[in-house]
Amino acid sequence: LRDTGNEALAEKITPERTEQLFRKSLELEPAKPRNFQRAGDHFVAQENTGEAERCYARAFRLDRVDGNIVRHLADLYSNTDRPRDALHVLDVSLRDGGDDPQVAFDAAMLAFRLKQYDATLTYLEKFEQLAGENLWTSYYRGICHYEQGNYQEALESIDREEELGESTGWHLELMRAVAKSHLGDV
């Protein structure tokens, strides 16, 4: 109600009262993961990352496969310069049976950012198992193969990306040129 733009309500429901209500909801239902997630969302909006992390972490302990909860905690870790912690949360969720394709894609992108190319390939495979084949996955797969020195596999991934996109682009042509040069195919 405070965020609806109604100034009269905003004056009646202070930020302190809102926080008090969120804390009370956590006491009333301490085993409901979504309650902790909503409280975490509130604390993020209030820029209280410590309390937000506490709430998201508790929600995650209660439900490790709820993609919404997992992504909120991972985003908080990423936004506080802890990408390895974020990747750990995403990985635990997938290992525990999480089936949210966005969790798998986020894990792939974090692993890629951390230059963990084997892990990136694994998460991309999981993403495609959950969501089907998508644009950009073959592109990232190609980069991973290139970084690992698997130039022929990189070229195959580039070809697949072009098939899916029904076109090529400078990013693919550049990758192709570099991979071919490593293979001695000028």
Q: Do 56 and 69 contact (CB within 8 A), yes or no? A: yes
pLDDT at 21 (0 to 100): 75
d(CA 62, CA 150): 41
- What is the rounded CA–CA span in Å between residue 8 and residue 83? 41
What single letter denotes the amino acid at residue 137? T
Contact 94, 111 (CB under 8 A): no
Q: What percentage of residues in the chain have a pLDDT greater than 70?
A: 97
**Are the CB atoms for 137 and 119 separated by under 8 Å?**
no
Give the Cβ contact number of residue 38 at 10 Å: 16
Kindly state the average pLDDT of the residues 25-31: 76
- Express each pLDDT in 45-103 by its tens digit: 889 999 999 999 999 999 999 999 999 999 999 999 999 999 999 999 999 999 999 99
3-state secondary structure of 105: helix
How is residue 65 annotated by DSSP? S
